[in-house]
Amino acid sequence: MDVLQERNASLQPVTRELHESKRLRVGVAENFKSEAEVAAAFKTAVETIARLGHIMKQTVVPFAGPGTGIQQIERDRKAIGQELFGEIDVVLLPTTATTVPLATNAAANPQGLSSANTAFANYYGLPAMSVPCGFDSNGLPVGLQIVAGPSADLEVLTLGQQYERAGGRFNRHPTL
């Protein structure tokens, strides 16, 4: 987030808005699958965000993608704004369903780190970011995904910055 602190005049309105206290309607995904370590880190991140004073609401994320192809992508992208983001500004979910596999295990299964939790944001063209929200038992990071409605990039950046300030996890690094 520090990249937005540049003294570039064109970014000043954005950085000013990022520093304002903004209360968001935050949807917490309830229909994701994840390993226990990921779920625990996610739960802690949600608790941190709730303490920031945001309006929290359980929500269902439409993970089902284009089962019959992408012929209806424009229609789907218009509908998601009303269906998922009608009553919330952002949705939270783990970035991945599993912890990061060790290099020795990843060689055996290169697709072992599933994109199931991130693919929907790509399909619908939604602004999203992942911020560290903890570490697994191997000392590797676990990610919190923040997704907003169409063209709501500022909400993603705002909540990401608020969370980083409140959680302090950006000061810690994985063990090597």
- pLDDT, one tens digit per residue, over 77-134 is 888 888 899 999 999 999 998 888 777 776 666 555 667 788 889 888 999 999 999 9
Q: How far apart are CA 95 and CA 130, in angstroms?
A: 6
Q: Is 154 left (phi over 0), alpha (psi -120 to 50) or beta?
A: alpha
| Residue-level pLDDT at 159 | 96
- Asked whether residue 81 is assigned to any structural domain, the reply reads yes
The reply to whether 33 falls in a domain is: yes
Structural domain harbouring 35: 23-63+73-101+113-170
Question: Could you tell me the pLDDT band of residue 71, with boundaries at 50, 70 and 90?
Answer: confident
Instruction: Tell me what the pLDDT averaged over the chain comes to.
Output: 82
11 assigned to some structural domain: no
Residue 80 near residue 149 (C-beta atoms within 8 A): yes
Residue 2 has pLDDT above 60, yes or no: no
Quick one: pLDDT band at residue 175, thresholds 50, 70, 90? low
Rounded CA gap, 163 and 144, in Å? 10
Strand partners, 26: 56, 90
How many CA atoms lie less than 13 Å away from 43 in the CB half-sphere? 7
Beta strands of 43-106 (E only): which ranges? 55-59, 90-94
Spatial contact of 151 and 139, defined as CB atoms under 8 Å apart: no
Q: Enter the tokens of residue 37.
A: 């370590």
Tokens of 53: 């004073």
pTM exceeding the 0.85 threshold for the entire prediction: no
For residue 40, tell me if it sits in a domain. yes
Number of domains in the chain: 1
Mean pLDDT in residue range 28-51: 95
Give the model's pLDDT for residue 62.
Answer: 84
Q: What CATH number has the domain bearing residue 56?
A: 3.40.190
Q: Is 104 helix (H, G, I), strand (E, B) or coil?
A: helix
Residue 5 lies in a domain: no
Say if 15 falls within a structural domain: no
Q: Is residue 90 included in any domain, yes or no?
A: yes
